[in-house]
Amino acid sequence: MDLFALLKKHWGYSQFRAKQESIVREILSGRDVAVVMPTGGGKSLCYQLPAVAMQRTCVVVSPLIALMQDQAAQLQQAGIPAAFLNSSLNPAEQREIMRSAQANAFRLLYLSPERLVRADVLDWLKRIPLGFFSIDEAHCISEWGHEFRPEYRQLRALREWFPETPIAAFTASATQAVRHDIVAQLRLRDPAKFVMSFHRPNLRYVVRECGPREQDRLLFSAVDYYSEGNVIIYAPTVRGVDETTALLSHKGFPVVAYHGQMPNALRQKNQEAWMSGEKRILVGTIAFGLGINKPDVRAVLHLSLPKSLEQYYQEAGRAGRDGLQADCALLWQKRDAGLLAHFIQQLQDAAERERSWQRYHVMRRFVEGDACRHRQICLHFGETPKWDRCDACDRCGVSLEWLSEAAQTPATRAARKAPPELHPIDPKMRDALREWRRKLAKEIGMPPYVILHDSTLDAICRRAPRSIAELCEVSGIGEKKAERFGEAILKIVARVRD
């Protein structure tokens, strides 16, 4: 089976990333698989490609409606039949998808854990030509994980109902205890285990304890500094999100808010404004981020102490997914620790309270200890690096320009350099392609990155292709995308170039 031909045809890539091919082949061999692959490692391809190759249905368990919809839309754009079943569909639409699934019409079918474990749904799945189950965000199954969801525990039923169907579990952030729990809870049989490195060398981690009135000044300095890139700011509460958004908006920064108490339509509108580049700064609670696949985030700023190192690693890891340098700054205050301790004391379940205290102490050691931050993260997840210094954190001598007083002067700001480019990008061409993508996304009602990633637009600008054949050589342009968008892209490139 030519996996490389499928990879090029549907995803537009000519080679796999680390471990992807091995994971795909293990799934195709019919073996259970447990994969820990940090954010940006390309885990979704690991279950999407085998589903296409085996011509059977992969049922993907996913915790978020928006994530299901985005992934199904991306797959459809790549010429892969995919669907989701959730409460956003009316009963007639749900019945049609169920009927089509029985006729083997889909390669991937996305369901929530709550829906999947219903007896009527399990019974219906028996009538579908199943290839395997893929459990996304698998750390949610473990009480030792920082995002435990009780409904995930019921996924143990899959092994009873489908003893012969392989199960593949994927997560981006799981400690050794959580990894063991995932295998036990899902009853995986002698699974092929893949644990990628947790070291993200392109990220610079910097932690700063702030005085009561210092945070706002540093925040303004930061968002001013990252004037060319996209920024995520995590605030601890809904009120904090609203206040920070109002503060930045008043100063003229292009900013939107995102939290769980917003009406769905407004939350979606704000997310799309940020994803499309219309607004480059997003202020959110921890409700924002799961499944967000924006490669060019140049900075993630935390305005309070996260509840756990896993949560921090996951959220900070949304920076720099394009492989270029990005910054993760944690600006915390002593009162954050008091607030976390207060909430832990309120927990009724003794075991959960104990686990929360453990997470709290790990987080305090991370921000207050002297050890290299990259090394602390690796050790926490059970990886022992052969190095002691990363040269990419404040404990190893890195200082972010905007955190020093000199960064406040116009001369310093003018002198700073953006991340280096392999080849120069024509800004007019990039702007024209982004505008075309934005209009098209609005027209067809999906996020712009589903059409083409920013990194793909940049690659087009670098190559400036003159034909469909040349366009197909650009990483991220598969046959289906070239067929669908090729002529429009070539016209824009020709207009700007000539």
Is 473 part of any domain? yes
pLDDT digit string, tens, across residues 473-483:
888 888 888 88
pLDDT digit string, tens, across residues 105-132:
999 999 988 899 889 999 999 999 999 9
3-state helix, strand, coil in the chain (%, to 5): 50, 15, 35
The band of 407, judged by pLDDT with boundaries at 50, 70 and 90, is very low
State whether 358 and 375 are in the same domain: yes
Is 419 part of any domain? no
State whether 475 and 459 are in the same domain: yes
Specify the residue for token string 């202020």.
283
Is 39 part of any domain? yes
State whether 279 and 397 are in the same domain: yes
Listed residues 164, 195, 226: the one ending a domain: 195
State whether 462 and 395 are in the same domain: no
E runs forming strands in 51-125? 57-61, 82-85, 108-111
Distance CA 318, CA 17 (A): 18
**Amino acid identity of 332?**
W
pLDDT of residue 417: 42
The band of 290, judged by pLDDT with boundaries at 50, 70 and 90, is low
State whether 107 and 244 are in the same domain: no
Is 396 part of any domain? yes
For residues 251-276, average pLDDT: 88
Is 422 part of any domain? no
Distance CA 166, CA 27 (A): 8
**Number of domains present in the structure of the chain:** 3
pLDDT of residue 423: 65
**Residue 321, token pair as written in the block:** 């997914």
For residues 47-66, average pLDDT: 91
Is 417 part of any domain? no
Is the pLDDT assigned to residue 267 strictly greater than 80? yes
State whether 167 and 142 are in the same domain: yes
The band of 406, judged by pLDDT with boundaries at 50, 70 and 90, is very low
Instruction: Average the pLDDT over each of 25-34, 100-109, 206-215 and give the range with the smallest value.
Output: 206-215
Listed residues 378, 408, 438: the one ending a domain: 408
Report the 10 Å Cβ neighbour count for 38.
20
Is the pLDDT assigned to residue 412 strictly greater than 50? no
pLDDT of residue 422: 53
Distance CA 306, CA 312 (A): 6
Is the pLDDT assigned to residue 415 strictly greater than 70? no
Is 301 part of any domain? yes
Distance CA 299, CA 361 (A): 26
Is the pLDDT assigned to residue 410 strictly greater than 60? no
Distance CA 446, CA 74 (A): 9
State whether 294 and 342 are in the same domain: yes
Is the pLDDT assigned to residue 333 strictly greater than 80? yes
Averaging pLDDT over each range in 61-70, 150-159, 355-364, which range is the top one?
Answer: 355-364
Question: Which phi and psi (to 5°) does residue 353 adopt?
Answer: -65, -40
Listed residues 354, 378, 408: the one ending a domain: 408
Helices (H) and strands (E) in the chain, counts: 23, 13
Instruction: Average the pLDDT over each of 82-86, 145-149, 329-333, 490-494 and give the range with the smallest value.
Output: 145-149
pLDDT digit string, tens, across residues 446-470:
777 778 887 788 889 988 999 998 8
State whether 159 and 83 are in the same domain: yes
State whether 217 and 116 are in the same domain: no
pLDDT digit string, tens, across residues 172-231:
888 899 999 999 999 999 999 999 999 999 999 999 999 878 999 999 999 999 987 799
State whether 184 and 215 are in the same domain: no
Is 413 part of any domain? no
Comparing CA positions, the residue from 136, 167, 138, 170 lying closest to residue 37 is: 170
State whether 349 and 236 are in the same domain: yes
Q: Is 162 within 8 Å of 130 (Cβ atoms)?
A: yes
Domain span at 300: 203-408
CATH of residue 58's domain is 3.40.50.300
pLDDT of residue 441: 85
Q: Is 419 within 8 Å of 295 (Cβ atoms)?
A: no
Distance CA 88, CA 287 (A): 19
CATH of residue 481's domain is 1.10.150.80
State whether 12 and 124 are in the same domain: yes
Order of strands across the sheet that contains 192-195: 82-85, 108-111, 57-61, 130-135, 167-171, 33-36, 192-195
Q: What is the mean pLDDT of the chain?
A: 89
